[in-house]
Amino acid sequence: MRTVYTRTISILLISAVLLSSCGAASSAAPAQESAAQEAVEAPAQENEAQDAAEVSAQENAEQDAAEAPAQENSASATTAAAAAADEGLRDLYAMETYDTVPEELLEWHDDVDYGTIDEDVEYYSATAGDNKYCNVLLPAGYDESQEYPVLYMIHGWGGSYDSHVYDGSDLQILYGNMLSEGLAVPMIIVGVDMYTDPLADKDSKSEEEMRLSYDKTVDDIGLDLMPFIEEKYSVKTGRLNTAVTGVSQGATTSLATGFKWQSKIAYIASLAPDPGVIPTPYYAGTYWNWPIFDDFTIESPETMPRYIYLTVGTEDPWNVDVTAYYGEVMDKNGIPNQNDLVEGYGHDGEFWSLGHYNFLQKIFLD
């Protein structure tokens, strides 16, 4: 298996250079051809050249006007990157991303401490109008006298808070092994439940109603769950100490949550996201494509996400195109992101482990 492509914001710069070179070549060619023509054709050619120049100037003016918002956002991205460099933060986009997980990291080892799981932790969600539940993974050696960053993990369609965070789960084993090997830092991992309505109504919800309930998770995390976790556990607060990730429909929610609460969350992973974060051409007219936002926007250079990780496998039956589309829109808007298409992977647990492996290595390092 190999990564088919890895795209970050730097592609914009490469494209600009190529476009500039092509423009120079295309403008030189007419001049050379004109010199080779008979003198009798010169007046007509001069008129044609003048017309072409006027059209070109008009097109350039229109293009400049259209590109102005993206250029402003790109300037914000550059400012944020420069500020991060001034603060001594490392370039996470320059760090290596892998297309396989070492087998030993996926296996249970008796000599490794995998931390503890607080199961069925109950909290009141004003967003849901009812109590909700989460599972909380405390890292090996958890000490209340220390403070820990927090990763919020969001399940896919039909799952729940215990889909990925439970005793003996793939995520617990992978993270515990990575922590033991020094490949990740100590952190708290919270299994989020996307159902965000009164629990008594859950079984009667249609799929359309369930999608709307899932979308409320964006507010539940920022308004209800994060304050609860920060009060109950020994948490290192602040956006540079907070991350969100999700798979499938949960990846849609994680992306929306990261952008909605960009003043609180600096790290965003979205593993094979469904449509529905912003308008897309995919699954138009269905509840899968009800957008949460009109566009990806950044409030200020200070709230630019520290790292955005989008990824999908080539064998994913649903979300290859939409994952690429989200990255392209961010590129256009001047928002740095990493977008990996990985050969051979589908829409399943094997790919979720790969995404977790790559993301866990890059968060909370500064």
Domain that holds residue 133: 92-360
Domain count, the chain: 1
- Domain presence at residue 52: no
Phi, psi of 155, rounded to the nearest 5 degrees? -75, 175
- What is the pLDDT tens value at each position of the chain, 366 positions in all? 557 767 665 433 333 333 333 343 334 333 333 333 433 344 344 444 444 444 444 444 444 433 444 444 444 445 445 556 666 799 999 999 999 999 999 999 999 999 999 999 999 999 999 999 999 999 999 999 999 999 999 999 999 999 999 999 999 999 999 999 999 999 999 999 999 999 999 999 999 999 999 999 999 999 999 999 999 999 999 999 999 999 999 999 999 999 999 999 999 999 999 999 999 999 989 999 999 999 999 999 999 999 999 999 999 999 999 999 999 999 999 999 999 999 999 999 999 999 999 999 999 998
Give φ, ψ of 184 to 5 degrees.
Answer: -145, 165
pLDDT, residue 305, reads 98
Q: Is 146 within the bounds of a domain?
A: yes
HSE, CB side, 13 Å, CA atoms: give it for residue 206: 3
Distances (CA, A) of 124 to 179, 197, 226, 354: 31, 11, 12, 33
Distance CA 290, CA 215 (A): 10
Lay out the sheet containing 3-7: strands in order across.
3-7, 338-342, 307-313, 267-271, 242-246, 150-154, 188-192, 130-138, 116-125
Residue 337 counted as domain residue: yes
Q: Is 286 within a domain? A: yes
Tokens in use for 155?
């399940």
122 in a domain, yes or no? yes
Count the alpha carbons within 13 Å of 323 in the hemisphere toward its beta carbon.
30
Q: Is the pTM of this model over 0.75?
A: yes
Asked if residue 320 is part of any domain, the answer here is: yes
Structural contact between residues 329 and 295, judged by C-beta atoms closer than 8 angstroms: yes
Do the domain assignments include residue 163?
Answer: yes
Residue 236 lies inside a defined structural domain of this protein: yes
Phi, psi dihedrals of residue 288, rounded to the nearest 5°: -65, -25
Q: What's residue 6's pLDDT?
A: 73
| CATH number for position 108 | 3.40.50.1820
